[in-house]
Structure formats: C-alpha cells, structure tokens
Amino acid sequence: MKPLSYSRYIVNSAVIVAALGYFVDIYDLLLFGIVRTASLTELGMTGELNRNTGEFLLSMQMYGMLVGGILWGILGDKKGRISVLFGSILTYSLANIFNGMVQTVEGYAICRLVAGIGLAGELGAGITLVAETLPKEKRGYGTMIVASVGILGAVVANLVYQSLHDWRLCYYAGGGLGMLLLILRVSVSESGMFLSFSSSHHSKGNFFSLLTTRTNLIKYARCIFIGIPIWFIIGVLITFSPEFANALGVIDSSNVAAGQAIAWSYSGLVIGDICSGMLSQILHSRKKVMYVFLALSLGVITLFLNSYNVTLVQFYWLCFFLGLTSGYWVIFVTIAAEQFGTNIRATVTTTTPNFVRGALPIIIIVYQFFRDSIFSGDILMASMVVAIILSLISFIALWGMKETFSVDLNYAEEV
C-alpha cells in the first residue's frame, strides 16, 4: 500500500496536465520536421529549395519561441502559472489548425511563427508549477514524468503521419488534441508559492533584471548554455537526417525518412529523461548527471558522423542513441527552475528552454558557415566542429553552476 500512496502523491493534477500539455507541445514542435518534405513538395518546393525553405520555416518557428518565451515567462510571474499554461496551449492549438489550411510558403511561415509563440509557454509554466507543488525531495520525479510523457508526443506525431499520410490532417489532429486538453484546466490549482508572493512588494517577472545584474546574467546564461547541444542534435542532425544519411552512404539512404529518425531519437529521449531523472534522485545531484550525459552525447555524435555505409536499421539505432544521450533535457529544465526565486522563476524557466530552442537559427548559421565556407559543403566535418564547440561551451557553463537538488524554492529573488 505504501508505494501506491507514494505514486499518487507525486502524480497529482498539476503533473498530469503539465505532462499532457508538453505531450501536445512536442507533437506540434516536431511535426514540422516529420512532414517537412511532403508539405513543402506539395507547395512546389523540391530538391535543395525544399531543404532551404525548411531551414527558413524552422527558423521562423524558433523566432516565435524566442518572443513567446519572454512574453509567457513575464506573464507567468505576474498573472500566474495556470493562465500561461492554458493560454499557450490555446495559441499553438489554433496555429496548428490554421497551419493545415495553408496554400503558400508565406502562410506557412506565419503559422510557424504563431505556433512558436504558443509553444514557448507550456513547458516553462508546467515545470514551474510542478516544482512548486511537490516537496524538494520529490520534485525531480515530477519533472521527470512531465518530460518523459511529453517527449512521447514526437513518437505519436510520426505514428499519426504514418497512419494518415496527410500532413494537413496531422496539423488538424494536433490542434484538436490541444483543444481537448483545455478541458482539464478545471482540475488544476494555482501554485501556492506564487499565491503567497502575489501580494508581496517584490518585483515580479522583471525579465530585464536578469540582464542588468551581473550575478543574475551569469547564472541565467549558464542555464541556457548547458542545454544548447540538445537542439543542435534535434534541429540539425535529426531534422535533416536524410541529408546526413546520404553523406554517410547509408545503404538505402533514399528510404531514410525524417519522421522515422525523429521517432527513433525521441524514443531514446524518453528513456534518457527517465534515466537522468532517476539518476539525479539516486545521486542527489543534478550536475553530476549533466556531466555524464554531456560527455556521452558528444561521444555518440562523433560515432554518428563517422558511421559510413551502415544499414538503414543501424542508422535509425544511431538516431535512437543520439536521443538517449540527449536525455538530460529534464535535468536542464529542472536546474533552471531551481536557480531563481519564486518572483522570477516562471520567467527563467519559460525563457531558458525557448532561448535554447531559439538559438537554433544561430546554430544553423554557424553550421552553414562551416559547411559552405570552410569545408566546401562537407556537412559531416561542419557538424563535428559545431558539436565540439557547443559541448565545450556547455561544460564550461555547467562547471560554474551551483548544485540545486536540495534547494528550498520558497524564496524571493532580490532584483
């Protein structure tokens, strides 16, 4: 009986809604990568134009997430975690539905921009709510559940596309799932920590205080930098996996589908998030787990970029291990939530993952520079150099961070 009551205590309504919200979030976030080739081909983009347009649309989505991250983060600290959680879900659900109706690349770009704005709020608000409603000894389990369930959205997105074979219907399905999720709002209560500070004199949601105070700026920058390698893997290596398969001479490389690569990598991410979350609870440390996964991730990237002439199945297994070793996403977001006080926590926890995602256009520009200007079109060498640079930045950022496993979150940040 004891384990049963224990699990009920951790899996409360906030954890369930945050997990399902992140599920729909990831469904939409990765759906573009899955349907990119088919949707742009239907709109008349073929060959290299398809790839270049795909990079542009992906960048538009990430620009939206940069704007949305700041917007929702500030609202989360001023108006509450619940209002942001469901406002963001409504925004990206409507954007999904309209995305299924587009007839031009320009319309596609607008929908991806608005979807990005909506997608920016759900994870940060959800993780903040969960971290504040669970005791410090258990909050790692709660955030682990949110991340693990949520990441399955990428797998389901691929299954939906494989079943429907229609990219427009896939967008409609994502919008419908989001609308259904809004019904669960009535079962979730606002964070007690937020309510206790809502009438206090402390400055709330002051995003610029993170940039104008040297201590806060350094701490905030470290939160962002430790997560950047994840989105190089997802946004470049996995999203453009057909191009990498061709460069590696994968047997039957013409049959490599980005949707399958995403499904395999996100299956690995689910397991990785569970492992990293459990390991952090066992070791009572976030930083030690981060070091392990950062090192493993760089090792698997190196293996991936040197796996010439492998079979189709072996290539997909490499995608799986790329995802597995990127499974410190749950730890990365939890660390961000634990670094700052209640009056600025939603701002930090919402903007941090979105600045990591939003850094993808910059990562792509750097990658393109090495690919086109330094290595004469060699995507493998360019990717290896970028991976090493981003990993070094992450290791340095992590080195200076404080351990936050047992930190009491019920305090205000002086800003």
Q: What is the secondary structure of 5-33 as a DSSP string? A: HHHHHHS-HHHHHHHHHHHHHHHHHHHHH
List of domains in the chain: 12-183+201-399 (1.20.1250.20)
Of residues 326, 144, 350, 166, the one with CA closest to residue 236? 326
Of residues 30, 14, 20, 18, the one with CA closest to residue 180? 20
Tokens of 318: 């490499």
The CA distance from 378 to 380, in Å, is 6
User: For residue 415, what pLDDT band results from cuts at 50, 70 and 90?
Assistant: low
Q: Does residue 145 surpass a pLDDT of 60?
A: yes
Of residues 390, 155, 144, the one with CA closest to residue 272? 144
Tokens of 116: 């990005």
Q: What is the DSSP string of 319-349?
A: HHHHHHHTTTHHHHHHHHHHHS-HHHHHHHH
pTM for the whole structure:
0.77
The CA distance from 309 to 315, in Å, is 9
Residue 293 half-sphere exposure, CB side, CA atoms within 13 Å? 34
Q: Which DSSP symbol is given to 126? A: H
What is the residue type of 326? S
> Mean pLDDT in the chain?
86
pLDDT at 3: 39
Query: Percent of the chain scored above 70 by pLDDT?
Result: 91
Quick one: which H or E segment has residue 183? none
Whether 398 contacts 294, CB under 8 Å: yes
pLDDT at 160: 92
The CA distance from 307 to 322, in Å, is 13
The CA distance from 353 to 358, in Å, is 8
More confident residue, 366 or 410: 366
Of residues 28, 46, 25, the one with CA closest to residue 37? 46
Cα–Cα separations (whole angstroms), residue 242 to 100, 167, 248, 250, 390: 24, 18, 10, 10, 23
Whether 398 contacts 222, CB under 8 Å: yes
C-alpha 35: how far from chain center = 18
Instruction: For 125, list phi and psi in degrees, rounded to 5.
Output: -65, -40
User: For residue 25, what pLDDT band results from cuts at 50, 70 and 90?
Assistant: confident
Query: Percent of the chain scored above 90 by pLDDT?
Result: 39
Q: Does residue 283 surpass a pLDDT of 50?
A: yes
Q: Does residue 313 surpass a pLDDT of 60?
A: yes
C-alpha 27: how far from chain center = 11
Q: Does residue 192 surpass a pLDDT of 90?
A: no
